[in-house]
Amino acid sequence: MLATMAPDEAGADRHLDHQSVRREAMERLRPRGGLILRTRRDGLRIRHSDDGELPSAGAHSPRCHAALLGAAGRGAHPAGAGPALRSRGPATGGRRGPSPRLRRVTSPPPSQPAAHVDRALCVLAHPDDVDFGSAGTVAAWTAAGTEVTYCVVTDGDAGGFDDTPREEMGPLRQAEQRAAAAAVGVTDVHFLGYPDGRLEPTLDLRRDISRVIRQVRPQRVLTSSPERFWERIGASHPDHLIVGESTLRAVYPDARNPFAFPELLADEGLDAWTVQEVWLGASPRADHAVDVTDLADRKFAALRAHVTQVGHRDDLEEFVGGWMRQTARGHGLPEGRMAEAFHVVYTA
């Protein structure tokens, strides 16, 4: 007669078998510098010290930290642990060959920005931000056939230099921004209506920028750098930093992830969208300059449209032109040229 094992005894037997296989596998891997490699149920191999504690960050290589484990022992594995995986490469001296690296999840970035894109979106904090930093570049894009959209997060109601009533400043600045946009070939301008000077990196702001990205579906996004520029502190207004950070969060991961802010898809029918490039203005690590010398007049016309902000300045062209000539020199352009500079981040 066959002996019958009680359920609890069967479970104990399986547990002991699991533990013996685990000990055997750990002993086989123990010779590596006093550290052992533990197999997780998902097949990922991670390093532990003999006492079960993770070594310090500098004590193990990235290769071993995230490599896939080959079969430990004779290809057997505990129940529920999933099929055994083989490590690549021949074994040497009785030890396993090098473990495979995890496959790259992104392609190597391009060496240069795309020569042309169909659609670009500029996300800035205040009316006039895009014109001070980028209007020449925008004029070049629209002249080449790129459809450019502006998204201005605030109405700029805290700006100005005179006693214009505050309740009138927001509408005035919206009208000025639309006029400035037209001077460089932009007709589509969105205003999100957040309070000037009081921006914070909220989920609402990320959602609202993600919405515009999904609506416009741009290959390129231009925004302000989220890094403070200590040598040009005026370029690092807190609202600029917040908009830059929030836009980058919207570009990745929010706008491309259909499960981020699912109401955008469920309620508004806005499918996920992946932006290819982000151009960061006023960045301390600018690596790409656009020669806008031949478009400077259009940039100055756009700036002059912001009457509530620059109407008192007779030296506007001299001031902004000197700034752009300095940028051009810093990026190796010939003397007398004018440029706008950006840190280009590849986000596909």
In DSSP notation, 189-232 reads: EEEEEEPTT-----HHHHHHHHHHHHHH--SEEEEE-SS--GGG
Q: What is the pTM of this model?
A: 0.71
Which run of H or of E encompasses 16?
helix 7-29
Instruction: Using the predicted structure, report yes or no on whether residue 228 has a pLDDT greater than 90.
Output: yes
**What pLDDT, on a 0 to 100 scale, did the predictor assign at position 19?**
58
Could you please state the CATH topology (level 3) that the domain comprising 119-346 is classified under. Rossmann fold (3.40.50)
Ranking 103-112, 168-177, 235-244, 275-284 by mean pLDDT, the lowest is 103-112
C-alpha span between 138 and 172 (Å, rounded): 23
For residues 130 and 157, is the Cβ–Cβ distance under 8 A? no
Nearest-CA neighbor of 245 among 157, 109, 130, 125?
A: 125
DSSP-derived letter for residue 258 is T
Domain positions in the chain = 37-86, 119-346
Residues 57-116: tens digit of each pLDDT: 444 443 333 333 333 333 434 343 333 333 333 344 444 444 444 344 456 889 899 999
Token look-up 């914070």 returns 200
**What pLDDT, on a 0 to 100 scale, did the predictor assign at position 235?**
85
C-alpha span between 219 and 251 (Å, rounded): 11
Tally of CA atoms within 13 A in the half-sphere of 289 that contains its CB:
17
**Model confidence band, residue 37 (pLDDT cutoffs 50, 70, 90):** very low
Ranking 96-105, 190-199, 223-232, 276-285 by mean pLDDT, the lowest is 96-105
C-alpha span between 229 and 346 (Å, rounded): 21
Across the range 320-342, mean pLDDT stands at: 97
DSSP for 83-145, please give it: ---PPSS--BTTB--PPPPPPPSSPPPPSS--S--SEEEEEESSTTHHHHHHHHHHHHHHHTT
Structure tokens of 306?
């912001």
